[in-house]
Amino acid sequence: MASKDLRTFIRELHQKRPDELKLVSQQVDPRLELTAIAEKSSQDGRYPGVFFTNVKGSSIPLVINLTATYERLALALGTSVQELVKAYGERQGHPVAPKITQEAPVHDVVLQGKEVDLYALPIPHHNETDSNFYVTSGVLICKDPESGRTNAGMYRHQVQARDQLGVWFYESHHGGVIWRRYEALGKPMEVAIAIGHHPAFALAAISRLPGIGGEFEEAGALLGEPLELTKARTVDLLVPARAEIVLEGVLYPRQRHREGPFGEWPGYTVEEGEKPCIKITTITMRKDALYYTIFPANEEHRVIGALPRMGSIYRRVREAIPGLVNVNVPAHARTHCYISIKKYQDSDVKKAAMTAILTEPENLRFVVVVDDDINVFNEREVMWAIGTRFNADKDLLMVKDWSGPGGLNPTGWEYHPDGSRTPIMSTVMLLDATMPLPPRQYPPLSRPPKELVERVDAARVLRDFDPSLLKVNLDSH
Ligand SMILES: Cc1cc2nc3c(=O)[nH]c(=O)nc-3n(C[C@H](O)[C@H](O)[C@H](O)COP(=O)(O)O)c2cc1C
Ligand SMILES: [Mn+2]
């Protein structure tokens, strides 16, 4: 059986949930038209994966929104939505070493020199206010010059020329740390950018792991089998053998190019400036490559970005308190985090909330801790708990100036009348929406007994309404 990759995932999805995939065969413009169709297809909130077989200017088909729902990410990891975060957190603790292979479909086609042409790929211009066409799903692989460890991360890549991509590294991300080390040494930084693989590979690259590297091993843990790697053609790096496309290139010291702005996960177009750029030296791909794009500043970006963070929060909070049940960072509000716990001590609540903001220090603004009878994936239940178990005077902890300054969230900035802005620190709120522990008795919940509800044979007992069976004459005066 073939190792897992983008194609095995699509096959499985097609078998199990065929109605979650759509295909567009008419010619579409990669500039805004493609994403307009994807946006339309998701207006009912279902976010189907959409294939485009005829993208203007390219012979390569594309898929967008393939990884836009937690249901599909749960399928990719062989679990359910309820168990997804727990499974993610648990697997993160058990890395699986990659396997080196000579058999590499990603080297079916090797393009070098004048053959290198990013414009031949169906790279979209996704959102109207984006500065340009962007590779949104590229996993950049590079080697830390200090430790020799290989790191992989997903970063936005602006198309700047037929053989040049921009890159934006957030300062605290390992990609940024490594790049600054090469700059300090005055040495070129070799990179390989993998596009299109099993969702587990993308998730591993997005994961916030402690310390540089470990993403290939995490990919193995999430896949449940070793990730297959092969030697890149022109850079001294290992790349995923079963990727769809790999771009090989070099960042030269002190080379900069204007980059941004670009629509980011909070839903705003941000971060314009002079950024590092990558000379692409080689493009390798499968002979019938499929281009995978993540819809930025949209549900797909938020969902695939949130799961690895939930997984890491789950793992760390479980280490901090004994009674962790589940963690949700909802895709529609990635600034929020809901944590359910079985509370043994009142101090469990603060420990859980503080650990969450330590694990995800930049983005969270609103953390709610609830009891284990609340389903954190049902926001109605979370809001009900806030309404009836939380008293702001006693149960609210504000950690002032916790994150920032600045960042992708517009609230990290102060806007001045002259049109300028300055970065400011951001405050996070921690809400204790748990009931007090006994002996302080909380009133009992008002519900019919669960056992009786479960025992009801609805199909037999509940008949369709028929006025003739009702012992009331509806026609009387
Ligand atoms: C679609 C998508 C785009 C992203 N773009 C960027 C980016 O442009 N720059 C960045 O620093 N992080 C970006 N991230 C977040 C990083 O992938 C993530 O934080 C990862 O852990 C970084 O890995 P590293 O610490 O090994 O560099 C993006 C995440 C997603 C899901
Ligand atoms: Mn890393």
280 and 122 Cβ atoms separated by less than 8 Å: no
Fold of 6-15+83-290: Pnp Oxidase; Chain A (2.30.110)
**Residue having the nearest C-alpha atom to atom 30 of ligand 1:** 305
Closest residue (by CA) to atom 31 of ligand 1? 305
Q: Which atom of ligand 1 is nearest to the CA of 207?
A: 21
Q: What's the burial of 34, exposed, middle or buried (CB within 10 Å: 0-12/13-18/19+)?
A: buried
pLDDT, residue 395, reads 98
Contact (Cβ atoms closer than 8 angstroms) between residue 300 and residue 267: no
Atom of ligand 1 nearest to the CA of 304: 31
216 alpha carbon – ligand 2 mean position (Å): 10
DSSP state of 139: E
Looking at the CA of 312, which ligand is closest? 1
Question: In this predicted structure, what is the pLDDT of residue 93?
Answer: 87
* The pLDDT of residue 302: 96
Is 295 near ligand 1, meaning CB less than 6 Å away?
Answer: no
pLDDT in tens, 375-386: 999 999 999 999
Pocket lining: 214 vs ligand 1, CB cutoff 6 Å: no
- Residue 57 · residue 30 · CB < 8 Å: yes
Q: For residue 443, how far is its CA from the centre of ligand 2 (angstroms)?
A: 48
What is the pLDDT at residue 2?
84
Of ligand 1's listed atoms, the one at least distance from the Cα of 154 is: 17
Per-residue pLDDT of 203-257, as tens digits, reads 999 998 889 999 999 999 999 999 999 999 999 999 999 999 999 999 999 999 9
Which architecture characterizes domain 321-433 according to CATH? 3-Layer(aba) Sandwich (3.40)
- Is there an atom of ligand 1 within 6 Å of 307 CB? no
Instruction: Indicate the domain borders of the chain.
Output: 6-15+83-290, 321-433
Element (H, E) at 203: helix 199-206
Residues in CB range of 251: below 8 A, 6 or more apart: 167, 179, 182, 188, 189, 191, 276, 277, 278, 279
- Spell out, as residue ranges, where the chain has pLDDT lower than 70: none
Position 422 scores a pLDDT of 97
Q: How confident is the model at residue 1, as a pLDDT? A: 75
Residue 294 CB less than 6 A away from ligand 1: yes
pLDDT at 111: 98
Residue 350 CB less than 6 A away from ligand 1: no
Could you tell me the distance, in angstroms and rounded to a whole number, from the CA of residue 295 to the centre of ligand 1? 14
As a whole number of angstroms, the distance between CA 360 and CA 354 comes to 10
Best residue among 155, 182, 215, 303 to mutate for probing ligand 1, ranked by most atoms within 8 Å of CB: 155
Peptide bond before residue 405 is cis, with ω within 30 degrees of 0: yes
Question: Which pTM value belongs to this model?
Answer: 0.94
Kindly give the distance from the C-alpha atom of residue 86 to the centroid of ligand 2, in angstroms, as a whole number: 21
